[in-house]
Structure 1
Amino acid sequence: MDHPNAPVPPPGCPAHNSGGRVPLYGPEFAADPQAYYSYLRHYGPTAPVEIAPGVEATLVTDYASALQLLQDSGSFRKDSRRWRHFNEGKISPDSPVAPVLAYRPNAMFSDGAEHLRLRQAITDSMARIDSRRLSQSTEQVSNYLISQFSSRGSADLLADYAKQLPLVVFNELFGCPPDIGDRVVYGVTGMFDGVNAEQAMGVLFGAVGELIALKRARPGDDVTSWLMEHQANLTDEEMMYQLALLLVGGNEPLRNLIGNTLHRLLTHDAYANQGGLIDEAIDDTLWENPPMQNLAPHYPASDMEFAGQHLQAGDLLLVSFAAANTGPALTAARQAGSNRAHLAWSAGPHACPSKDPARQITITALENLLNKLPDVELAVPEESLTWRPGPFNRGLVALPARFTPVQAARRPDAGTRTEAPAGPAQSAQQGHRAERSGVWSQFLNWLTR
């Protein structure tokens, strides 16, 4: 490396094989990313990294520098068609990071007036979600998922709960009927966990296209219809890309937030017998183990100096939310009582538009699970847990748990419920009571039995 005073890389870090760049992938990084961030801080506010074989990036690890980057939309752009190395043919289209970084015409990859138009349509539509209805819907989905494993006395709280709950709740929010909702689940899951991300993406976009056609003909009380009604007048193509962004970009971080907070609750005795423990555990997770640890891709609009480093136009910069949150300056601010100043939701004009509903879903999901299974505990030694590899996400592979078996809760009786299920699910049930295999259809079947 070009830094003679740099410390020795953490164990297993093959930086000397990466052209002097620190690799943010592989099992060693996944097992202990904080060791890597501690090492990277010795380079200053930014550090040279490799996010996949042959894919170079500059990682911002300092909180103040990260805020400067995220809030300066004049100097730094989001449109990844500016990505210099990709345009020069140095990045293979089948690179494992391409599905996350490749340009799509949605709010995440847009700048200026176009970003404002698309972003406003999203934020206005998400703001129409009724918090009481969202809590009721989440609790219903939670009850259904718990009923599938509660009598066993054991479960993988990732595969059986944290992974599925956001997908089903989002199908509810977006008004998906059973057949479309099952394909949305397949597409979103396959993009992150399957071996054929391209096929999964095709299934997802096909399902979203059918959902748009359905809502054009029969609007409902759901996010899809609200997006259509918005004064931004989104075309069907624009609708497709914004919906896909919300479905994919919302599910993966939420899955990790629920899973990472559950992991924290099950491995830290400090939360036992404390009031407000779930709120505290969520905040601590967002600070120390955020669901997306490195993301927010930006590209300098021109050659420039930033945080003491020379950058060329189109260089790839990523923000390390995990490193910025745990740096010395932020540790001091957190101790002073500023408990929501973390960057887990990003910041600036591209900050997460769904952080409030995401937090509400997480709180409801965790409260309901702990109320139903009060003695739940980790079923394996903590050190045996494995984290998913990759530069962007921070999530477990599995979270095995055990508890005293309980009889599966019966679904709420339709004749005695004080509140009907949230609108989309209720309307989707009509004429769709035949048994189906997808998780969304299974949930609707459970509600109507």
Structure 2
Amino acid sequence: MRAEHGPIIPAELAPGVRGWLVTDYATLISWSRDTTTFSHDARLWRDFNEGRVDPDSPLLPMMAPRANALFVDGVEHQRLRRAITDALGAVTAGHLAAITTRYADRLIDEFCERGQADLLNEYARMIPLLVMNDLFGMDEDQGVRFVTAMRNLWAGVDAERSNAEAERALSEVVDAKHRDPGDDLTSRLIRHRAGLSDEEVIMQLLLIIAAANEPTAALIDSALRAVLADPALRTAGGASVAVLDDLMGRVLWRDPPITNYPVIYPRVDVPLEDGRVIEAGSPILLGFAAANHFFQRENAERMEDSANRAHVAWGAGPHRCPARDEATAIATIATRRILERLPEPTLAIPPEGLRWQLATLFWAPVTLPVRFVPRPPATPASAPGPVPPAFDTAPDTRAPASSGLSSLSNFLVRLLRRS
């Protein structure tokens, strides 16, 4: 496409939905920072405003106007983003590491004796859900319903119904926290000095969890695929802080968790160097993966030193992902626990046998089957212990420690495979 159109590519985003794709690194950063010419406010989307976008378009839940920090600019963006960053900032690195490790170990306990597992659906897609359930104070039913709806939104499956179900689950969480507030992100957003309405709280929750679940799962999956492809990493020695930090940097360059998102809209017509014009109100996808790829190719000689952390996997400008550190930490810990607990995992099929789910906004494998030397669970099934607090605040210690998570894990795996 670049050979035919250059780095700014006209594209059909969905049937009848026209827009543009930016694949140039410098242009993507420049336009993301230029809040005078470009906006994230979808109310500028001309075709949407003029009724030319099908109401059933799978892009609408990810592109239609919303009252959250991703879709507004200026003072309003600063107000909403501050509430998000303050709520996230109250989560210490130690607490995040502890709950991520706990859930990672519980999930590994579910399959470590089998000697084989689908590390995408049984692990990578489970950890962000469990961690977010814990941090947001969701109960089991709310968490299951929400993550299923969000996966369908990212994939463009039954978009209108999925969007409604996601918002319904979050509305229930907000109502519950009004009655019984706690030390969780939902309660912090409700009582933040920014004075968010309940609708605004729901919209910020939708943004944070949407950004945390599938993208973090994709980052874990990408890191695990990189490990499986490199014999030097497929041992416990590959779990060192320095090795994993370098691995995550390379993965965020080469295989970012979000391919083409979010969207910006020019406030005025934007002329391109070749004479073409991007009309005001046209959606422009930010092609993070392509921008990283072409920057790497054009700057190969200096990629190993000065450019290691200059990727755009988390965006650029004032809308750069506020939870990037948390997502990277979760993915790093999840990858480390696999290396520490499963002896030298290997891909169960040839790499070319992996199947991929392709959509306008992202791409991801369907499964990640691996084999490894069977190991006993870290915690014997008969030993008492607390069920993860997101699902049972008063666990019955007479039951096996993993029973609550086991039933949830199996149920979610079935849901994820069906979706």
TM-score, length basis structure 1: 0.82
Q: 1:336 to 1:179 in 2, by over 3 A?
A: closer
CA drift at 1:297 = 0.5
| AA aligned opposite 2:213 | N
Distance in 1 (CA, whole Å) between partners of 2:390 and 2:406 is 14
CA drift at 1:382 = 0.4
Q: 1:148 to 1:414 in 2, by over 3 A?
A: closer
Distance in 2 (CA, whole Å) between partners of 1:109 and 1:441 is 37
Alignment of 1:323-334 (within 5 A): 323-327=290-294, 328-334=297-303
- Look up the match of 2:268: 302
CA drift at 1:180 = 2.7
- Look up the match of 1:23: none
Alignment of 1:102-117 (within 5 A): 102-117=64-79
CA drift at 1:79 = 1.2
Is the CA contact (8 Å cut-off) linking 1:168 and 1:439 kept in structure 2?
no
Q: 1:112 to 1:390 in 2, by over 3 A?
A: same
Alignment of 1:271-310 (within 5 A): 271=233, 276-306=242-272, 309-310=276-277
Deviations 1:102-149 (A, max 9, x none): 111111111121111111111111111111111110011111111111
Aligned residue for 1:326, secondary structure, equals helix
290, 310, 315: which is aligned to 1:341?
310
- Look up the match of 2:284: 317
Which 10-residue stretch deviates more, 279-288 or 403-412? 403-412
Alignment of 1:374-385 (within 5 A): 374-385=343-354
Distance in 2 (CA, whole Å) between partners of 1:324 and 1:430 is 45
322, 331, 342: which is aligned to 1:353?
322
Deviations 1:287-324 (A, max 9, x none): 01111111121111112325554221101111111111
Is the CA contact (8 Å cut-off) linking 1:179 and 1:441 kept in structure 2?
no
Distance in 1 (CA, whole Å) between partners of 2:59 and 2:302 is 33
Residue 230 (str. 1) matches residue 196 (str. 2): no
Distance in 2 (CA, whole Å) between partners of 1:190 and 1:98 is 13
429, 433, 440: which is aligned to 2:392?
429
Aligned residue for 2:364, secondary structure, equals coil
Q: 1:358 to 1:153 in 2, by over 3 A?
A: same
Q: 1:270 to 1:294 in 2, by over 3 A?
A: farther
| AA aligned opposite 2:392 | Q
Is the CA contact (8 Å cut-off) linking 1:63 and 1:330 kept in structure 2?
no
Residue 249 (str. 1) matches residue 211 (str. 2): yes
CA drift at 1:427 = 7.9
Which 10-residue stretch deviates more, 313-322 or 173-182? 173-182
69, 90, 93: which is aligned to 1:128?
90
Is the CA contact (8 Å cut-off) linking 2:134 and 2:389 kept in structure 1?
no
Is the CA contact (8 Å cut-off) linking 2:70 and 2:319 kept in structure 1?
yes
| AA aligned opposite 2:119 | L
- Look up the match of 1:263: 225
- Look up the match of 1:141: 103
161, 164, 175: which is aligned to 2:123?
161
Distance in 1 (CA, whole Å) between partners of 2:322 and 2:251 is 19
- Look up the match of 2:417: none
Q: 1:222 to 1:181 in 2, by over 3 A?
A: same
CA drift at 1:369 = 1.3
Is the CA contact (8 Å cut-off) linking 1:135 and 1:361 kept in structure 2?
yes
Q: 1:307 to 1:431 in 2, by over 3 A?
A: farther
Deviations 1:349-388 (A, max 9, x none): 1000101111110111111111110221100000111221
| AA aligned opposite 1:367 | R
Distance in 2 (CA, whole Å) between partners of 1:307 and 1:345 is 27
CA drift at 1:336 = 3.9
| AA aligned opposite 2:340 | N
Is the CA contact (8 Å cut-off) linking 2:38 and 2:265 kept in structure 1?
yes
- Look up the match of 1:150: 112
Is the CA contact (8 Å cut-off) linking 1:137 and 1:169 kept in structure 2?
yes
Aligned residue for 2:370, secondary structure, equals strand
Which 10-residue stretch deviates more, 180-189 or 61-70? 180-189
- Look up the match of 1:85: 47
CA drift at 1:91 = 2.1
Residue 218 (str. 1) matches residue 180 (str. 2): yes
Aligned residue for 2:367, secondary structure, equals coil
| AA aligned opposite 1:181 | G
What is the root-mean-square deviation of aligned Cα atoms in Å? 2.7
Distance in 2 (CA, whole Å) between partners of 1:268 and 1:307 is 42
Distance in 2 (CA, whole Å) between partners of 1:62 and 1:69 is 11
| AA aligned opposite 1:280 | D
- Look up the match of 2:416: none
CA drift at 1:254 = 0.3
> Structure 2 unaligned runs (5+)?
410-419
Is the CA contact (8 Å cut-off) linking 1:182 and 1:440 kept in structure 2?
no
TM-score, length basis structure 2: 0.87
- Look up the match of 2:342: 373
Deviations 1:204-256 (A, max 9, x none): 22221111111112211111111122110111111111111111121111010
Distance in 2 (CA, whole Å) between partners of 1:376 and 1:426 is 30
Q: 1:198 to 1:67 in 2, by over 3 A?
A: same
Residue 391 (str. 1) matches residue 353 (str. 2): no
Aligned residue for 1:176, secondary structure, equals coil
Q: 1:97 to 1:437 in 2, by over 3 A?
A: farther
CA drift at 1:42 = 5.6
- Look up the match of 1:46: 8
| AA aligned opposite 1:252 | E
Is the CA contact (8 Å cut-off) linking 1:182 and 1:441 kept in structure 2?
no
| AA aligned opposite 2:112 | S
Aligned residue for 1:166, secondary structure, equals helix
Distance in 2 (CA, whole Å) between partners of 1:377 and 1:63 is 34
Aligned residue for 2:200, secondary structure, equals helix
Distance in 1 (CA, whole Å) between partners of 2:33 and 2:316 is 7
Is the CA contact (8 Å cut-off) linking 1:188 and 1:248 kept in structure 2?
yes
CA drift at 1:199 = 2.7
Deviations 1:262-282 (A, max 9, x none): 111112346456553322221
